[in-house]
Chain A
Amino acid sequence: MIEAEHPAHLWRNPEPKRSYEVVIIGGGGHGLSTAYYLAAHHGITGIAVLEKGWLAGGNMARNTTIIRSNYLWDGSAGLYEHALQLWEGLSEELDYDILFSQRGVLNLAHSLQDVRDSVRRVEANRLNGVDAEWLEPEEVAEVCPIVNVSDAVRYPVLGATYQPRAGIAKHDHVAWAFARAADALGVDLIQNCEVTGLEVSGGQVTGVSTSLGLLAARRVAICAAGHSAVIAATAGLRLPVQTHPLQALVSELLEPVHPCVVMSNAVHVYVSQAHKGELVMGAGIDSYNSYVQRGSFHLIERQMAAALELFPIFARARVLRTWAGIVDVCPDASPVIGPTPIDGLYVNCGWGTGGFKATPAVGDVLAHTIAHGEPHPLAQPFGLERFESGALIDEHGAAAVAH
């Protein structure tokens, strides 16, 4: 087999210009995707993505890559299903293999209430055109033979929701694909450039101050994940998010044993097996607010105990690596996307534990919102106004073990 030679670099490393049409703060998946859609689909030029570290070294490099769209409410189904459809064509759109593997996700139910909520979610999903099925325990075992469906355990598996089109992708490939495509369209990707403040004059954003000096911009979008609130605060803007560590871990490389993605809210862990063979698992956030990319060890201990409860076969697997990212969580477990009270300033934040799956949709709807100066219809329900109108999008159920 002949391996294609990898190019020496996938994007330029330009010096920043003094002035831009659009500045995007944060070079994670969301910032890169937004830059790409702005340039590719809206013909906007003069775009820069400013990243304080290296491209996609934040949560984009740290997530467990689960992609699914089986959320409860109409607004979420609209946005996440749009994302899933974009994922299905993304390797082609970006001419780069992102290794999207639609291996299906099982969300296990362990109590009568779990069962009722799950069946309700399946019906809601179907009404929204999202593929969803309710599986009985023996059907769960057919999809994933290594899950323990015995009723002799503390929290037996009473069934599961199943989304066959869900899956995983390779996060670095996704970041590189968007970065390369955006760069080819003239977007300046500027690394090691930390935004230290928003510049606002007469209620209108005018630029950003950075570690590389002042950059003027007519429009600015915050895509800084865990640091969104810190950046917004420099313009006196408060965001309804709290920043927490979120951890994950991998085992050493194993033969393929686990065919899909399994998530359990009640036992509290989710597990998939990456392309290379490591078991990838995660659970919930550390409870306290923190900007330190490190969590407490007892969370790791608990999620491994939960994994063993569901998959006795993992008893001899060893942890290879654990890590954490910094995520910003909204009170209703749904993101904020849209304009702000400051003209020309847009925000995309509050994705918390589950924004990787939305990466292409965020780029598409945020680019549209920036280009037109008003929310894309799919972003409409996710504006900041909902915290005042009360139209929250409560996805704690569908988001519970997160991701």
Chain B
Amino acid sequence: MLIECPWCGGREEQEFHYGGQAHVPYPAAPAELSDAQWSEYLFFRDNPKGRFAERWVHSAGCRRWFNALRDTASNSFIRVCAPGEPLEGYR
């Protein structure tokens, strides 16, 4: 795959590492979570066949993390953006 780093442009996939689902915040009040809520936070992630908001790091390049929207049914990237920018088209 060719992946578009927001800072460096298109590079070969081997320069990147995958970070799984994007936008999974650490719980605001961890001590208040039930076992079921902890389980959800630790072990359950979205796994859609279709658009997926995910994280990548350009580890052999600028070493910065970014978010991407990719279609897991075709592997095509719809959009990449710097952390903090909203990934429109997902949720």
Contacts and interface: CB of A to CB of B under 8 A. Distances in A.
* Chain B interface size range: 20 to 34
Interface of B: 1, 13-14, 17-18, 20, 35-36, 39-40, 42-45, 47-49, 52, 54, 70, 72-75
Closest 6 CB pairs of A and B: A287-B18, A229-B47, A388-B39, A240-B43, A291-B49, A387-B43
Given A240-B44, A388-B35, A296 B1 contact: yes
A298 B13 contact: yes
Contact of B73 (A229, A292, A296): A292
A238 interface: yes
A294 B72 CA distance: 11
Given A290-B72, A292-B74, A388 B18 contact: no
A50 to B, nearest CB: 18
Contacts of A177: none
Nearest to A392: B43
A72 B19 CA distance: 28
A92 to B, nearest CB: 39
Interface string A276-292: 00000000000111111
Interface in A216-241: 227, 229-230, 233, 238-241
Interface of A: 227, 229-230, 233, 238-243, 287-292, 294, 296, 298, 328, 331, 387-389
A221 to B, nearest CB: 19
Given A242-B20, A298-B13, A387-B39, A288 B44 contact: no
Nearest to A232: B47
